[in-house]
Amino acid sequence: MQTLIWEPPTPRSPNFPRPRRVEHSRPAAKAAACIAIAALSHCATFTCFGKQGRRRLKQARVQRHVREMAPDVERWSLASQGTPRPEDDPDGQVMAEVTRLWEGLEPKLMYLPREDRLRALSALCVAALAHHGQMRKSGEPYIVHPVAVAELLALLKVQVDVIVGGLLHDTVEDNPTIHFEDLEEIFGPDVRRIVEGETKASKRTALGGRGNWSRRYTSLFSIFFGKQTPSSTSDDVSKAREQAENLRDMFLAMADDYRVILVKLADRLHNMRTLQFMPERKRKTIAAETLVVFAQLAHRLGVWLFKTELEDLSFKHLYPTEFHRLNNLLSMRRAQYTSTLAAATHDFSEILRQDETLTRHNIKLEITGREKGMYSLWEKMRRKTKYQNNIDNIDDIIALRVVLDIDRFEGEGDEEFAKRGAGFCYHALTLMRKLPNWTGGDSLKNYIAFPKPNGYQSLHATFVHDDAPVPLEIQIRTRQMHEVAEYGMAAHWTYKDELRGDGEQHKSKMLSRRVAWLESLADKDGDLRTDAQQFVEEVLRDELGRRCFIFLRDGTILNLSRGCTALDAAFKIHSEVGLHMVHAVINDKEVPPFYQLQNGDRVNIVTSEEAVPQREWLAYAFLRSTRNKLAAYFRRTKK
């Protein structure tokens, strides 16, 4: 005789009892079991055992969940060792694909030691199995995407946990048989934290096929771009509120661990490179989100390596007409730009390499040319009236970067090393100003003495060759400054920092300086927990936007453009305040006039009747109105 008896539901089927067959020798037992099954199957919740019974059922579910997960952990552990189960890779295609992909990835990871590269290889094995058979919209195997993300992260010289997180960032989301617990068991808690945070960010802003993604996301970004108000229709309000919730989750996941941002930026950059395979409506929505959120995140963190390309790809899809028009204008002038850069590279490198001071200190030079990003160029022409929307009026379209590699003395501290490097930068600029056939170099932007908020340091000066009327910006910096300029925040957590053995105090200080604004997001969320849309709008406006709100001593609020200095604030208060400014006190700390203001700064301008403006202030004034007032003063005094 056979019958069915009930046993506690499993976590994977919480609402439906799972039957199993047992033997009964008595018909009465069979009938009793059937009655029990019928009664229990119609109950919404099972409470007849009381509190103790419910606790036992919960324990049984947990134990069953552990038993069911054990084979998965073993499965992915075997895969991480390069020996997947026969049923997972019966024809050897997975491992053959791993071998092919590793040949391209490993050369980019050679800055890591062998043990760390083996960890990355293990992650590639797991990712290849987890994504086996999955395809992208472009028609490529899906595994191509996480490998590309890892390669982008490798450009930043990040630690191995970030590389592993980049390879595994989509595994849990796209494969239901792998869990965060599996990743933690194999790769450790840091990798799990990165993947879990990135998964929260990704599934909130997924790029394809999950519900009405485009319709939901278009609403809020239309509001941000000023094309509609949030009160347009109840449907629009609902969509905007849903997207705001998603973006809030994404920002908080990034704030919890800065490495999540790096993985997310690399993930978005590779997706933007293949955006042409998405439908047009979705392309524009994704490009808008990239421009408003991710390009601004890269800018805020100083990751110029990603920021410029994110902006240019978004520009291409959002404003195709303007993009192609500007591209044609640049193409017409590119031959002239190329010849100017070639002449400058030859002339400036020759005078620097012949200098006895640089030779005696064994300073190596790296000189490269660059062309300004198209979106940045378009924005500059569009927003600043002095350029009259004319590309030929802009003096930094092309630039020559001079990077000085300086050897550190044994036992030399960071401050002494940085000070010595800055001295060599000033020396190189002095040499360049003496070069024949080149004029200019007098108007200096000194970002070494006064770094940008994201840590950027460099000397900027504009030169013009006598035979080619194309302005050329010269940027002089040390190797350490260059890494911060290119990699931003990531430059402070490279593998080289670990090898150098910097103390925990130094690292924690650097972490605090670089991501304090991220940590403040949690406080902002606590204040605005009931209003996700206001939270997102404040983050995009205050942290990633173009406005800066500061408080004067009497409580007055000044609404300035982001990038304004204390000098701009002084002239905004009154022209006489700016003309007699000595210094500023920001948040109870004395700062020079060139200090770049941050949202929420408390500002007090200290003046003196004897104080007069300096001509170099013209190079640091951010607002055109400030420069005009300074220029007018210098014209008056010259007479």
State whether 62 and 118 are in the same domain.
no
The single-letter code of the amino acid at 566 is A
Residue 106 falls in the annotated catalytic set = no
* 30: its two tokens: 């069979």
Q: Which of 85-99, 365-379, 514-528 has the lowest mean pLDDT?
A: 514-528
* 339: its two tokens: 């010849």
The answer to the question of residue 134 being in a domain is yes
Query: How far is it, in rounded angstroms, from Cα 575 to Cα 568?
Result: 10
Place of tokens 């010849």: 339
Q: Write the CATH number for 506.
A: 1.10.3210
The answer to the question of residue 82 being in a domain is no
Query: How far is it, in rounded angstroms, from Cα 197 to Cα 195?
Result: 5
Q: Write the CATH number for 159.
A: 1.10.3210.10
The answer to the question of residue 408 being in a domain is yes
**Catalytically annotated residue among 174, 184, 497, 502:** 174
117 has a pLDDT exceeding 70: yes
Place of tokens 């408080």: 551
The single-letter code of the amino acid at 124 is L
* 328: its two tokens: 């044609």
Which has the closest alpha carbon to 181: 60, 315, 73? 73
Which has the closest alpha carbon to 435: 546, 343, 316? 343
CB 564 within 8 A of CB 622: yes
The residue ranges of DSSP E strands in 417-503, in sequence order, are 438-446, 459-465, 468-478
Domain that holds residue 248: 209-318+502-545
State whether 361 and 387 are in the same domain.
yes
The radius of gyration computed from the CA coordinates of the chain, to the nearest angstrom, equals 30
Please identify, among 204, 236, 253, the residue that sits at the C-terminal boundary of a domain: 204
pLDDT at 504: 44
pLDDT at 24: 44
Query: How far is it, in rounded angstroms, from Cα 387 to Cα 63?
Result: 70
Identify any residues that bridge with 438 across adjacent strands, giving them in sequence order: 465
Query: How far is it, in rounded angstroms, from Cα 116 to Cα 243?
Result: 38
The answer to the question of residue 46 being in a domain is yes
**Phi-psi category of residue 441: left, alpha or beta, with phi > 0 → left and psi -120 to 50 → alpha:** left
CA angle 557, 559, 560 (to 5 degrees): 135
Residue 519 falls in the annotated catalytic set = no
**Phi-psi category of residue 368: left, alpha or beta, with phi > 0 → left and psi -120 to 50 → alpha:** beta
State whether 422 and 291 are in the same domain.
no
Q: Is the pTM of this model over 0.75?
A: no
Query: How far is it, in rounded angstroms, from Cα 518 to Cα 301?
Result: 10
pLDDT at 115: 94
* 103: its two tokens: 């040949």
How do beta strands 589-591 and 581-586 pair?
antiparallel
Query: How far is it, in rounded angstroms, from Cα 241 to Cα 201?
Result: 17
The single-letter code of the amino acid at 474 is I
State whether 565 and 634 are in the same domain.
yes
pLDDT at 345: 92
pLDDT digits (tens, 9 = 90+) for 411-425: 999 889 999 999 999
285 has a pLDDT exceeding 60: yes
> Which three-class secondary structure state does DSSP give residue 610?
coil
State whether 272 and 357 are in the same domain.
no
Domain count, the chain: 5
**What is the share, in percent, of the chain residues with pLDDT greater than 70?**
70
The answer to the question of residue 618 being in a domain is yes
* 587: its two tokens: 């948040």
Across the range 200-222, mean pLDDT stands at: 45
Burial 451-476 (b: 16+ CB within 10 A, else e): eeebbbbbbbbbbbbeeeebbbbbbb
pLDDT digits (tens, 9 = 90+) for 54-110: 666 666 565 555 445 445 678 899 999 999 999 999 999 999 999 999 999 999 999
Q: Write the CATH number for 556.
A: 3.10.20.30
Please identify, among 16, 38, 73, the residue that sits at the C-terminal boundary of a domain: 73
146 has a pLDDT exceeding 60: yes
**Phi-psi category of residue 409: left, alpha or beta, with phi > 0 → left and psi -120 to 50 → alpha:** beta
Which has the closest alpha carbon to 347: 386, 416, 402? 402
Alpha carbon distance, N-terminus to C-terminus of the chain: 115
What letter would DSSP give residue 587?
A: T
State whether 262 and 184 are in the same domain.
no
Query: How far is it, in rounded angstroms, from Cα 274 to Cα 302?
Result: 24
The residue ranges of DSSP E strands in 12-170, in sequence order, are 18-23
State whether 433 and 337 are in the same domain.
yes
State whether 442 and 336 are in the same domain.
yes
The answer to the question of residue 80 being in a domain is no
469 has a pLDDT exceeding 50: yes
Which whole-number Å values give the CA distances from 491 to 61, 424, 455, 500, in the listed order? Answer: 46, 22, 10, 14
**What is the share, in percent, of the chain residues with pLDDT greater than 90?**
39
pLDDT digits (tens, 9 = 90+) for 252-273: 777 777 788 899 999 999 999 9
pLDDT at 492: 53
Which has the closest alpha carbon to 259: 501, 498, 494? 494
Query: How far is it, in rounded angstroms, from Cα 465 to Cα 481?
Result: 27
Query: How far is it, in rounded angstroms, from Cα 251 to Cα 523?
Result: 12
State whether 424 and 312 are in the same domain.
no
* Start-end of H helices in 470-623: 479-487, 495-500, 504-527, 532-538, 566-573, 575-579, 617-620
For residue 41, the Cα-to-chain-centroid distance in whole angstroms is: 51
**Catalytically annotated residue among 72, 106, 116, 173:** 173
Please identify, among 441, 460, 489, the residue that sits at the C-terminal boundary of a domain: 489
What order of strands is seen across the sheet that includes strand 557-561?
A: 557-561, 547-552, 602-607, 581-586, 589-591
For residue 66, the number of C-alpha atoms closer than 13 Å in the C-beta half-sphere is 5
Query: How far is it, in rounded angstroms, from Cα 615 to Cα 631?
Result: 9
The answer to the question of residue 83 being in a domain is no
- Average confidence score pLDDT of the chain: 78
pLDDT at 67: 43
Sign of CA dihedral 272, 276, 278, 283: positive
Which whole-number Å values give the CA distances from 188 to 127, 163, 165, 261, 263, in the listed order? Answer: 16, 13, 11, 19, 17
Q: Provide the pLDDT confidence category of residue 346 given band limits of 50, 70 and 90.
A: very high
pLDDT at 522: 64
State whether 222 and 256 are in the same domain.
yes
* 369: its two tokens: 């040319």
State whether 247 and 186 are in the same domain.
no
Query: How far is it, in rounded angstroms, from Cα 625 to Cα 573?
Result: 12
Which whole-number Å values give the CA distances from 291 to 299, 436, 514, 561, in the listed order? Answer: 11, 43, 22, 18
Which has the closest alpha carbon to 476: 487, 498, 489, 460? 460
What letter would DSSP give residue 445?
A: E
Q: Provide the pLDDT confidence category of residue 496 given band limits of 50, 70 and 90.
A: very low
* 226: its two tokens: 């000023």
The answer to the question of residue 53 being in a domain is yes
CA angle 243, 248, 249 (to 5 degrees): 100
For residue 259, the Cα-to-chain-centroid distance in whole angstroms is: 9
State whether 358 and 408 are in the same domain.
yes
Which whole-number Å values give the CA distances from 353 to 358, 362, 478, in the listed order? Answer: 7, 10, 16
What letter would DSSP give residue 6?
A: E
Which whole-number Å values give the CA distances from 208 to 132, 235, 281, 314, in the listed order? Answer: 19, 21, 12, 17
pLDDT at 515: 52
The single-letter code of the amino acid at 551 is F
10 has a pLDDT exceeding 80: no
